[in-house]
C-alpha cells in the first residue's frame, strides 16, 4: 500500500492539521464527541475529520463512526470538502457531508475561524445487527454546532434581542441587558452578522453499505431489490420481495434491465465505445498474464496487441467477447450476442442517465473487477482490498496506469467514461444530417 500512498492513489487530498491551534481545537471536538484526545502534534484528516494516524494511536479505526452508523464529524476548515471519506460505510455519506459544507460555506468559514464544528449524520438506526435494520434508514439529518455551542448561544442571544425589542419595560431589565452583553461577547453581533447553519436532511433510499459483505439496496425504483456480497441465505425475512447475491448474475442483469439502470457501452451516445472497450481488454489481458513472469508496465498499445496475439489461446472469454464488440463498433462486424451469464456481460455495460448512476457504476465495477480503472474510480474500498492480493507485475501496471492515464485528468476521464450527452433536439438533427435526412451511400 505504500506505493499507492506515495503515488497519491491512497490517502490523497487529505487536510494536514499541523498548527497547535488547530490541534487544540481538534482535541476539544474529539473530547466533546468521544471523550478521547490525541497526543499527536500533526496528522491528516478526511472530509469527516477522521484521521488514520489518530485511529492508529487510539487503536480504533471507527472512533468517529461507532458501529459503522451515524458517522460523527469534525470540521476545522471548509477545505475539507475536497478531501475523500476514508473507511466509508455508506455510499451516501461523503456526498451528504460535501453538500452540507458547500451549502453552509460562509457560516462554516466564520465558525471555524474561532472553533471546530462538531456534528453527526443522524438516522434512526444505532446498530446493524441484522440486514432488516437497513430498511429503517430512511432519512439522514445533519446536526452540527461548534464545541463551544456558538449556534445555541446565537439562538439564545437572538431570542433575548427579540424580547428586548418587543417587551414593555425591557429597556429597564438590567439582568436581560447583562445577559445580552455576555452572549454578544461570545457570538458577535447576530443582528448584523447572523450565524446559522441550514437544517439539512437527505433521503436514504438507494445506497451501498459496507455491512453484510457489501450490500446494495435499491428501494426507490420500479422493481426494488437488495444485492449483497454475502450469501443469499443470510437475507431472509426482509420487507422486500427480491434479494440477490453477486453470484446471481442473471437475476441482477434482469433487475438492471427492468429498472432501466444500465445501458450497453457499445450503443451509448457521446462516448468512444471502441476506445473504452479496448482499454477493458488491456486490463483483462494484464490480469491473465500477471504472475507469469511477463513484464507489463511501460507497455505501449502496440506491445499490448503483440502480447494478446502471443497469448490468445490462454485469454479468458471476457477478452474475446469485448474484441467482438470492438469489431462491431469500429469495423461493422456482426453484433455479438452476450448472454447475462457470460463473464463478459457486465464489462459491456455502464450506468444509464439517472440520479443513481454512481451507485449503479459502483455495482457494475464489483461485477467486472478486472476493469481496474472503473474499480478505482467507483469502488475504492474494494479496489484496495483487491490490490493487496495482486501480483507484483499487476501492481506495477495498475499504479503506472492510474498515475499516468487517470490522475492527469480525472474529470475528463470520468466524463469520457460515464458522461451523458443531452438528447438531440430537432435543430441539432437538421444540422447533422440536413433537412432531407441522412444521405445514403
Q: What DSSP letter does each residue of 366-387 carry, written as one string?
A: HHSTT-HHHHHHH-HHHHHHHH
- Residue 16 belongs to what H/E stretch? strand 15-17
**Domain for residue 354, yes or no?**
yes
- 291 and 439 together in one domain: yes
Spatial contact of 244 and 255, defined as CB atoms under 8 Å apart: yes
**Domain for residue 176, yes or no?**
no
- 290 and 423 together in one domain: yes
Give the integer Cα–Cα distance in Å for 32 and 30: 5
φ/ψ bin of 237: left (φ > 0), alpha (ψ from -120 to 50), beta (otherwise): left
* Number of domains the chain is built from: 2
Tens digits of residue pLDDT in 374-405: 999 999 999 999 999 999 999 999 999 999 99
**Domain for residue 109, yes or no?**
yes
**Domain for residue 322, yes or no?**
yes
Answer yes or no: pTM beyond 0.75.
yes
**Domain for residue 124, yes or no?**
yes
Tens digits of residue pLDDT in 325-343: 999 988 888 888 899 999 9
CA triple 266-270-273, angle to 5 deg: 30
- 282 and 366 together in one domain: yes
- 9 and 139 together in one domain: yes
**Domain for residue 384, yes or no?**
yes
pLDDT band with cut points at 50, 70 and 90 for residue 430? very low
User: Residue 146's beta-bridge partner residues?
Assistant: 117
Tens digits of residue pLDDT in 188-229: 544 444 567 877 899 889 999 999 999 999 999 999 999 999
Q: What is the pLDDT of residue 441?
A: 33
Spatial contact of 190 and 110, defined as CB atoms under 8 Å apart: no
- 280 and 357 together in one domain: yes
- 415 and 274 together in one domain: yes
pLDDT at 158 over 80: no
**Domain for residue 210, yes or no?**
no
CA triple 110-114-116, angle to 5 deg: 90
Look-up of cell digits 438590567: 174
Q: Could you list the residue range(s) of the whole structural domain that residue 415 is in?
A: 270-441
- 199 and 290 together in one domain: no
- Residue 226 belongs to what H/E stretch? strand 225-228
Cell of 10: 491512497
- 199 and 301 together in one domain: no
**Domain for residue 437, yes or no?**
yes
| CA–centroid distance for 280 within its chain | 22
Amino acid at each position: 500500500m505504500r506505493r499507492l500512498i506515495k503515488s497519491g492513489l491512497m490517502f490523497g487530498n487529505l487536510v494536514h492539521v499541523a498548527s497547535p491551534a488547530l490541534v487544540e481545537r481538534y482535541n476539544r471536538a474529539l473530547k466533546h464527541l468521544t471523550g478521547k484526545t490525541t497526543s499527536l502534534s500533526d496528522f491528516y484528516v478526511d472530509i469527516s475529520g477522521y484521521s488514520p494516524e489518530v485511529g492508529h494511536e487510539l487503536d480504533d479505526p471507527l472512533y468517529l463512526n461507532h458501529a459503522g452508523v451515524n458517522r460523527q464529524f469534525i470540521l476545522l476548515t471548509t477545505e475539507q470538502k475536497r478531501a475523500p471519506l476514508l473507511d466509508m460505510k455508506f455510499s451516501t455519506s461523503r456526498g451528504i457531508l460535501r453538500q452540507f459544507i458547500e451549502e453552509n460555506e460562509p457560516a462554516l468559514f466564520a465558525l471555524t475561524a474561532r472553533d471546530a464544528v462538531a456534528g453527526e449524520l443522524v438516522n434512526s438506526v444505532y446498530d446493524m445487527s441484522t440486514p432488516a435494520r437497513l430498511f429503517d434508514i430512511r432519512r439522514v439529518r445533519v446536526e452540527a454546532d461548534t464545541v463551544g455551542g456558538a449556534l445555541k448561544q446565537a439562538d439564545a442571544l437572538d431570542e433575548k434581542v427579540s424580547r428586548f425589542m418587543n417587551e414593555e419595560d425591557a429597556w429597564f431589565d438590567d439582568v436581560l441587558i447583562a445577559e445580552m452583553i455576555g452572549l454578544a461577547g461570545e457570538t458577535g453581533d447576530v443582528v448584523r452578522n447572523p450565524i446559522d447553519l441550514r437544517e439539512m436532511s437527505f433521503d436514504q433510499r438507494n445506497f451501498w453499505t459496507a455491512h453484510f459483505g457489501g450490500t446494495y439496496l435499491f428501494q426507490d425504483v420500479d422493481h426494488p431489490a437488495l444485492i449483497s456480497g454475502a450469501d443469499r441465505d443470510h437475507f431472509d425475512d426482509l420487507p422486500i420481495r427480491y434479494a440477490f447475491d453477486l453470484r446471481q448474475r442473471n437475476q441482477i442483469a434482469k433487475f438492471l434491465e427492468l429498472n432501466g439502470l444500465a445501458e450497453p457501452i457499445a450503443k451509448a451516445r457521446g462516448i468512444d465505445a471502441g476506445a473504452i472497450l479496448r482499454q477493458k481488454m488491456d486490463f483483462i489481458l494484464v490480469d491473465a498474464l500477471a504472475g507469469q513472469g511477463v513484464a507489463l508496465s511501460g507497455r505501449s498499445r502496440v506491445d499490448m496487441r503483440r502480447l494478446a496475439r502471443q497469448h490468445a489461446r490462454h485469454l479468458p472469454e471476457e477478452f474475446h467477447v469485448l474484441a467482438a464488440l470492438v469489431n462491431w463498433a469500429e469495423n461493422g462486424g456482426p453484433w455479438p450476442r452476450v448472454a447475462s451469464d457470460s463473464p463478459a456481460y457486465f464489462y459491456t455495460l455502464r450506468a444509464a442517465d439517472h440520479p443513481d448512476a454512481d451507485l449503479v457504476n459502483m455495482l457494475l465495477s464489483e461485477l467486472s473487477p478486472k476493469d481496474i480503472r472503473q474499480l478505482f474510480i467507483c469502488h475504492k474500498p474494494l479496489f484496495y482490498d483487491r490490490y493487496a492480493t495482486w501480483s507484483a507485475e499487476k501492481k506495477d501496471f495498475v499504479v503506472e496506469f492510474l498515475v499516468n492515464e487517470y490522475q492527469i485528468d480525472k474529470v475528463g476521464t470520468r466524463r469520457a467514461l460515464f458522461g451523458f450527452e443531452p438528447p438531440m433536439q430537432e435543430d441539432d438533427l437538421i444540422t447533422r444530417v440536413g433537412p432531407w435526412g441522412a444521405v445514403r451511400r
